[in-house]
Chains A and B, each alone.
Chain A
Amino acid sequence: MQNLRSKFLARTRDEVETFRALISQWQAGAQGTLTEIERLAHRIHGTGATLGFDEVSESAAALERTARRLAMSGLASAAADAFDGLTPRGVRDLQLCTEQLGREVESAASRS
């Protein structure tokens, strides 16, 4: 169990990097990235709960919901949501969730 928990934290730490990359791609106009973010976040949400990482699971759930909401709102890419000089709001929401998830992973790692 201890071994599984550290495997999960290591994998999720890598996935936080993946989220950052996917968000940049979405901002740059790539298609299909929201679906991938939502799928990965959902897995962390479920497996985190199974392994007893409640905070990690909850912050992944927030990222999952945000990605789903953006995908449902019909924005093909962040470009449609962009306005001059500021970071598009959808991108900012995804980034906030991702950074929160990153902090929860580090905090869980330091506790175990």
Chain B
Amino acid sequence: MDDFGATTQILQLDSSIVPRVLLVDDDDLVLARLAPLVSAAGFGVLTAMSGEEAIAILERDFAPIVITDLRMPGMDGLSLVRALRTRSWPGYVYVLLLTIQDGEQDILAGLDAGADDYVSKRASGAHLLARLRTARRVLSLEHSLKRALDEKRELAMTDPLTGAHNRRYFTRHLARELKQAQRSGGHLSLLSIDVDHFKRINDGFGHEAGDAVLQALVRRMAAALRRDTDWYARLGGEEFAAVLGSTSLVGARQVAEQVRQAVAVTPIGTPAGEVAVTVSIGVSSLEALEPTPPPGIESLLRQAERCLFASKERGRNRVTLPEEIQACKT
């Protein structure tokens, strides 16, 4: 359901994009002729009177289509195309040369420099607009490829059963968040969460029920976490982690207790009937670790797992903090 929502949102964003065209020509009469023509065809229009100005405008205000004259004082069209191709931009820049220098040598030099197409200044407005539609087709192909790639990346980071982030996402993003907390001297806490006697649930109620339990657990956990600072991942089997940004040990204990209660409060409905489920939780926090050398995510994770183990030892369905067991201090 989440996947569907995300896709719809992307499609809506896409249709709201008005492709922008940057017109570059040193004659303001040419710009005054082309700007209304291009704008009437549904494109946003920017104008520049030299290559230098074109680059400066694109850096401020990106346009994926550039229509440029070849001959201009200062940076000419060929140098502009080369400069466009050597820099990195938010997306592909489709370059259309519009010039009266339409001898074969000029056209080849332009295409060699990196232009995508050319149109003679002798061509009609309709001809230019037809070339612009080609540009739009190429760019929309680029958009859909990018979107497909983003979706694949997202899928590669998502657990298909519960829709939670997976271990790969967890490792990558926790490392980033830890570095940020260490740089700013802020708090960061981690909950290691494990379903109690999950094997018994699977064996007694079947795998379908086990899957339903994991899905319900993620929903309850998500509801107990705070939307703006916390996130969670499924690390494997019945093992989850919640990362609590800007959260001290005191705050983390409170959140952990809420997660524990949210799971235990009522049995979970499954195809095989209601199942009473509890979780054990181990807490770790940046402030509870030795500050030197700066701890990595392994130390944070190891501390939380030791505390989780202690929760299991102490009878399950409970939260354990590092201070409650000497061995948690690493």
A residues in contact (CB < 8 Å) with B = 1, 4, 7-8, 11, 42-43, 45-47, 49-51, 54, 57, 61
Contact = CB atoms under 8 A, between A and B. Distances in A.
Contact residues of A: prevailing secondary structure? helix
10 contacts: A11-B29, A43-B27, A46-B30, A46-B69, A46-B121, A49-B100, A49-B121, A50-B34, A54-B122, A57-B100
Contact of A51 (B26, B33, B71): B33
- Residue of B30, B34, B69, B120 with most chain A CB atoms under a 10 A cut-off: B30
Nearest to B99: A46
Interface in B158-172: none
Interface string B80-117: 00000000000000000001100000000000000000
A51 B29 CA distance: 9
B75 to A, nearest CB: 16
Given A46-B99, A61-B100, 5 more contacts: A42-B100, A46-B69, A50-B30, A50-B34, A51-B29
Contacts of B100: 42, 45-46, 49, 57, 61
A57 B26 CA distance: 17
B14 to A, nearest CB: 33
B35 to A, nearest CB: 11
Nearest to B73: A39
Contacts of A46: 27, 30, 69, 71, 99-100, 121
B27 to A, nearest CB: 5
B32 A50 contact: no
- Residue of B27, B69, B99 with most chain A CB atoms under a 10 A cut-off: B27
Contacts of B33: 1, 4, 50-51
A33 to B, nearest CB: 17
B128 to A, nearest CB: 10
A42 B71 CA distance: 9
Given A46-B27, A49-B120, A54-B122, A4 B32 contact: yes
A72 B311 CA distance: 90
A46 B30 CA distance: 9
Contacts of B32: 4
B120 A47 contact: no
Interface string B116-131: 0000111000000000
- Nearest 6 Cβ contacts at the A-B interface: A46-B100, A49-B121, A49-B122, A50-B121, A46-B121, A47-B27
A93 to B, nearest CB: 21
Contacts of A47: 27, 29-30, 121
Interface string B53-96: 00000000000000001010000000000000000000000000
Interface in B10-59: 26-27, 29-30, 32-34
A91 B323 CA distance: 98
B26 A43 contact: yes
A61 B69 CA distance: 16
